[in-house]
């Protein structure tokens, strides 16, 4: 046994010596960099391709519904089809985006069928008028494909987490056209207070690759540029702080309503088929009662109107209600675009009531509510830069900081972990409420 022990000791000594050698260390780091660049390029191309097709599918669904409003009458049937589809593929108990976040936290695998199911069911939901967005779906599509690529390449568990995050970044980037925000969303959303910097290069490169691919195919990105000549001053800052405080409360209302209506559905309609059908009927009746289709679908057209100073007084509240009724019933899609809708219309209303700049307040409302419901201030700031430019960067920074703090520990995602307190320098490690 002694020769073996001596050999092992010598091997350990040699490894230690090589690890401390700067040339060997640099070569090893360079190899890891090139490895991740190659793999994240592959991830960006694969996920970007699927997400671009998904984006075109959603555009067709929105355009078709606008041209043929009668298709909304099939929303209850779409709900039944979605429940059947998930049951047929033995995936009816999935938690959606929470499943993806849980997979970043621990060794929980995401099956590839998740991407297929959310792809089909989100387009079906949007086609028939369900109030959902696309970015939450993108996280599920990108996360499942990214992890599966890691599985096929026989990566270890730690590297598969990085693949999952780079897949999320690629999908979000290809769908929304904000590659900087997409890169950081995946690293920021799982554990608030801790950034997964090991995924920095893969997430950035996968995001940029997917974005460039989507642009090459002329993907339908939204143009939300605003025009406002407001400059940074004390009075403007005070007004922005007030708006951000109110947006924090709106984001809490958004989260509470989403979780509350989902619980009510489960209580009164325990059967998922009846729940989906009833939810579809409720949404149709509510639309007929209001005599408008403004709150059906993602609502990007209403966001654009809000950025030009047009909004109904209670639009932000009604969008929260329609989104909660849609997702709570079992329809599929994301909550992020509805949060943009809510923030933009609330910000526009605030501007109308106070005489402030409507485009600027709508933009601030968008990113503030987004930050409040996701607890992702870095992502929110980057979204503001990529969508609206840098002219009012200081105001976006103020609003996002205030909204992040005052929205407390509420979140759209129960799987999200808030690692450090928002109010003091202490470790809390609690789940989103």
- Provide the pLDDT for residue 1: 44
pLDDT over 80 at 28, yes or no: no
Q: Tell me: the pLDDT tens digits for 316-335? A: 999 999 999 999 999 999 89
Q: Which of 226, 199, 400, 410 lies closest to 305, judged by CA?
A: 226
Residue 315 in contact with residue 362, Cβ under 8 Å?
no
Least confident of 224-228, 364-368, 375-379: 224-228
Residue 363 in contact with residue 392, Cβ under 8 Å?
yes
Residue 186 in contact with residue 162, Cβ under 8 Å?
no
| Ranges of each domain in the chain | 40-216, 234-431
CATH of domain 40-216: 1.10.3080.10
- 421 or 433, higher pLDDT: 421
Q: What average pLDDT score do residues 37-42 get?
A: 95
Can 40-216 and 234-431 be said to share one CATH topology? yes
- Provide the pLDDT for residue 10: 60
Q: Which of 303, 253, 261, 299 lies closest to 403, judged by CA?
A: 253
Task: Kindly state the greatest CA–CA separation across the chain.
Answer: 86
Fold topology of 234-431: Clc chloride channel (1.10.3080)
pLDDT over 70 at 31, yes or no: yes
pLDDT range class, residue 194, cuts 50, 70, 90: confident
Residue 100 in contact with residue 252, Cβ under 8 Å?
no
- Provide the pLDDT for residue 430: 77
Percent share of the chain, pLDDT over 90: 70
- Mean pLDDT highest for which of 10-14, 35-39, 107-111, 228-232? 35-39
Average pLDDT, the chain: 90
pLDDT over 60 at 168, yes or no: yes
Calpha distance 408→252 (Å, rounded): 8
- Provide the pLDDT for residue 85: 94
pLDDT over 80 at 408, yes or no: yes
């Amino acid at each position: 046994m002694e020769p073996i022990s001596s050999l092992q000791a010598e091997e350990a000594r040699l490894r230690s010596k090589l690890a401390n050698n700067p040339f060997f260390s640099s070569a090893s780091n360079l190899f890891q960099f090139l490895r991740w660049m190659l793999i994240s390029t592959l991830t960006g191309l694969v996920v970007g391709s699927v997400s671009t097709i998904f984006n075109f599918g959603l555009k067709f669904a929105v355009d078709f519904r606008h041209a043929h409003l009668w298709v909304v009458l099939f929303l209850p049937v779409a709900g039944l089809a979605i429940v059947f589809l998930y049951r047929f593929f033995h995936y009816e108990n999935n938690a959606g985006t929470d499943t993806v976040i849980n997979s970043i936290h621990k060794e929980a695998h995401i099956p590839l069928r998740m991407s297929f199911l959310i792809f089909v069911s989100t387009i079906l939901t949007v086609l028939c008028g369900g109030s959902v967005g696309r970015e939450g779906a993108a996280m599920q599509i990108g996360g499942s494909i990214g992890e599966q690529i890691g599985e096929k390449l026989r990566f270890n568990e730690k590297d598969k987490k990085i693949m999952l995050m780079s897949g999320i970044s690629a999908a979000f980037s290809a769908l929304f056209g904000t590659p900087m925000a997409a890169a950081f969303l995946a690293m920021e959303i799982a554990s608030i207070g801790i950034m997964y910097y090991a995924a920095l290069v893969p997430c950035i490169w996968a995001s940029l690759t997917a974005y460039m691919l989507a642009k090459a195919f002329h993907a339908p990105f939204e143009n939300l540029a605003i025009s406002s000549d407001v400059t940074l001053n004390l009075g403007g800052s005070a007004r922005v702080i007030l708006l951000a405080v109110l947006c924090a409360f709106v984001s809490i209302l958004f989260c509470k309503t989403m979780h509350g209506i989902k619980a009510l559905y489960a209580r009164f309609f325990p059967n998922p088929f009846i729940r989906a059908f009833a939810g579809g009927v409720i949404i149709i009746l509510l639309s007929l009662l209001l005599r408008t289709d403004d709150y059906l679908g993602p609502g990007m057209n209403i966001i654009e109107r809000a950025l030009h100073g047009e909004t109904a007084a209670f639009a932000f509240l009604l969008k929260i209600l329609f989104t909660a009724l849609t997702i709570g019933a079992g329809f599929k899609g994301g909550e992020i675009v509805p949060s943009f809708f809510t923030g933009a219309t609330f910000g526009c209303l605030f501007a109308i009531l106070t005489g402030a700049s409507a485009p600027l307040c709508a933009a601030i409302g968008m990113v503030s509510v987004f930050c409040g419901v996701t607890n992702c201030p870095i992502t929110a700031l980057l979204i503001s830069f990529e969508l609206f430019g840098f002219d009012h960067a200081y105001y976006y920074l103020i609003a996002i900081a205030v909204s992040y703090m005052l929205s407390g520990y509420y979140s759209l995602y129960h799987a999200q972990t808030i690692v450090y307190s928002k109010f003091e320098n202490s470790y809390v490690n609690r789940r989103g409420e």
